[in-house]
Amino acid sequence: MTIEEVQNEIIDEFSMFEDWEERYQYMIDLGKTLPLIDEKYKTEDNIIKGCQSKVWVHADMQEDKVNFTADSDAIITKGIIAILIRAFSNQHPKDIIEANTDFIDKIGLKEHLSPTRANGLVSMIKQIKMYAIAYQTQLN
Amino acid sequence: MLNVSEIRKDFPILNRKVNGKPLIYFDNAATSQTPQQVIDVIVDYYSNYNANIHRGVHSLSQEATDAYEQARLKIQKHFNAKHPYEVIFTSGTTHGINLVANGFSSLLKKGDEIIVSALEHHSNIVPWQMLCERTGASLKVIPMNESGELILSKYDTLLNENTKLVFVNHISNALGTINPIETIIEKAHKVGAAILVDGAQSCPHIKPDVQKLDVDFYVCSAHKLCGPTGVGMLYGKEDWLKKLPPYQGGGEMIAEVTFEKTTYADLPHKFEAGTPNISGGIAFGAAIDYMNSIGFDNIAAYEHELLDYATQQLQQIEGLKIYGTAKEKTSVISFNVGTIHPYDVGTILDKMGIAVRTGHHCAQPIMDFYKIPGTIRASFMFYNTKEEIDTFVAALKKAIMMLS
């Protein structure tokens, strides 16, 4: 599936929820399914700055596709990362670099996109794209 | 006795909804809400007499100057400063602390010592670290115990003839502990040290008498006591304020300027360079009037009732741990529930219209002491109610259920 297709699938899933409670419950559940980062990558250096909760993201590339793993000490943050990783994992770095992130808005999580928001969603997206740029450079 | 339902009518913001739910505002320790009486003063200023002060001969400037200086008198009276010129308008507590720290950089030398408490806000740690870097003085810390109280016997051992300055907050923003500043001031003076008390958290709850306390410097922010943001005050004893050099250069703070030499204006203008926050200063005065019209004794008694009630209710929740259990504390409750991250709880509570603070509260050393990433902090003011606390506790239980 392309990034856009995955994003549309996520939008469809979230459209079934009637209120914030169902939406957040789903996010919390998603947080529990997050592909966890290997403990050895959970270093101080790998912590994403700008987060009230701690967030670690790691990437590796296999057969020209980038895979992400992550962790956070806050479960809602984990849910948000899980959504992001689902959209961007197992994709070609070029597609990750070019992908837009409007779907966050469409699933009712726009509030988390504010640059002042303490969860650092913006920093997470930036970090994901930075990894993609790094791997793209390797491919070139 | 307070008539809370009448008081609540003074605060327009308390009528609004957040995420579709009536706002419950429990983040008062970060900033208090503003009553219509204070908002009106700001609107009146810009509608009727907005002008630069202390320099115009025209009527508007005179009116603005009068109102601004009236506000200074109100602040003087409220804190019982000996002279109006011992009250310096600042942009807030942090500005006041930096003004004093900067002033002391010319008075300190290598080997001198500064004492701060373990309960300090970052704004009360960083300026002193910077001051120590500049002067070669060293920073000592009064430790705290598990309840969040300062260990005064340790303070005794830190004090000596090298101690030049002691800095302590009146009330801890993270835990709500009321520090025994009378004793702390007295002991500092015994070794000849100056003392600055940070009143940011205490000013909305306690009416301090700076002369009776015999404190050398006292700082606070208007927005903590129902005033606007961006304005605060530094009280300093006349002798000390004369000793400190000016902090910033600019208009208003000078007596005479030539390219060879500038002589500085008298107090308080020496420390008030440039056009100040005029409407803010006037509204600060109005906020003090408002608080006094309710009465600090009434406020303290009612808030204590809220604190006791909320503490009892929260303690019934399984796995909930309150941080900061000092005997003397104000209406602040810092807590965590099991291993749930404070950020998660705060996010869910916000969805239910409840504003609390989560995180380290700019007091990381305290969080390190308890080995936690942060807490959830609910802080109450006299316009909050027990019904709001009930709603908050029910919402909290729901959040815990969702997050477990």
Contact A52 B359 (CB under 8 A): yes
Supply the CATH number for residue A18's domain: 3.90.1010.10
> DSSP secondary structure string, B14-70?
GG-EETTEE-EE-BTTT-----HHHHHHHHHIIIII----SS--SHHHHHHHHHHHH
Instruction: Give the pLDDT score at A116.
Output: 56
Q: What is the distance in angstroms between the Cα of A15 and the nearest Cα belonging to chain B?
A: 18
Question: A19, A24, A44, A48: best mutation site toward chain B, by most B Cβ within 10 Å?
Answer: A24
C-alpha B223, offset from chain centre: 8
Instruction: Give the pLDDT score at A50.
Output: 62
pLDDT tens for B15-49 read: 999 999 999 999 999 999 999 999 999 999 999 99
Nearest chain B Cα to A73, which residue?
A: B341
Work out the mean pLDDT of chain A and round it to a whole number.
87
CA-based max dimension of chain B: 71
Q: Give A75's contacts in chain B (Cβ within 8 Å).
A: 340-341, 344, 403
Contact B343 A119 (CB under 8 A): yes
Q: Give A20's contacts in chain B (Cβ within 8 Å).
A: 19, 351
pLDDT tens for A112-122 read: 655 555 556 77
Answer whether A114 touches B (CB < 8 Å): no
CATH code, B49-292: 3.40.640.10
Q: Which CATH class is domain B4-27+295-403?
A: alpha beta
Instruction: Give the pLDDT score at B125.
Output: 82
* Complex ipTM: 0.87
**Could you tell me the end-to-end alpha-carbon distance of chain A, in angstroms, rounded to an integer?**
24
Contact B358 A76 (CB under 8 A): no
Whole domain around residue A106: which residue ranges? 3-139
Instruction: Give the pLDDT score at B76.
Output: 98
Q: Where are the domains of chain B?
A: 4-27+295-403, 49-292
Q: What is the distance in angstroms between the Cα of B390 and the nearest Cα belonging to chain A?
A: 20
- pLDDT of chain B along its 404 residues, tens only? 789 999 999 999 999 999 999 999 999 999 999 999 999 999 999 999 999 998 778 999 999 999 999 999 999 999 999 999 999 999 999 999 999 999 999 999 999 999 999 888 777 788 899 999 999 999 999 999 999 999 999 999 999 999 999 999 999 988 999 999 999 999 999 999 999 999 999 999 999 999 999 999 999 999 999 999 999 999 999 999 999 988 877 666 767 777 777 777 789 988 998 899 999 999 999 999 999 999 999 999 999 999 999 999 999 999 999 999 999 999 999 999 999 999 899 999 999 999 999 987 777 888 889 998 889 999 999 999 999 999 999 999 999 999 98
Answer whether A17 touches B (CB < 8 Å): no
Q: Give A23's contacts in chain B (Cβ within 8 Å).
A: none
Contact A20 B359 (CB under 8 A): no
* Annotated active-site residue in B203, B220, B226, B362: B362
CB A17 within 8 A of CB A23: yes
Which is more confident, A50 or B146?
Answer: B146
B362 classed as catalytic? yes
What radius of gyration do chain A's Cα atoms show?
A: 14
**Could you tell me the end-to-end alpha-carbon distance of chain B, in angstroms, rounded to an integer?**
41
- CA B77 to CA B291: how far, in whole Å? 13
Total domains, chain A: 1
User: Looking at the partner chain, which of A21, A25, A76 has a beta carbon nearest the beta carbon of B344?
Assistant: A76
Instruction: Give the pLDDT score at B251.
Output: 67
Q: What is the distance in angstroms between the Cα of A75 and the nearest Cα belonging to chain B?
A: 7
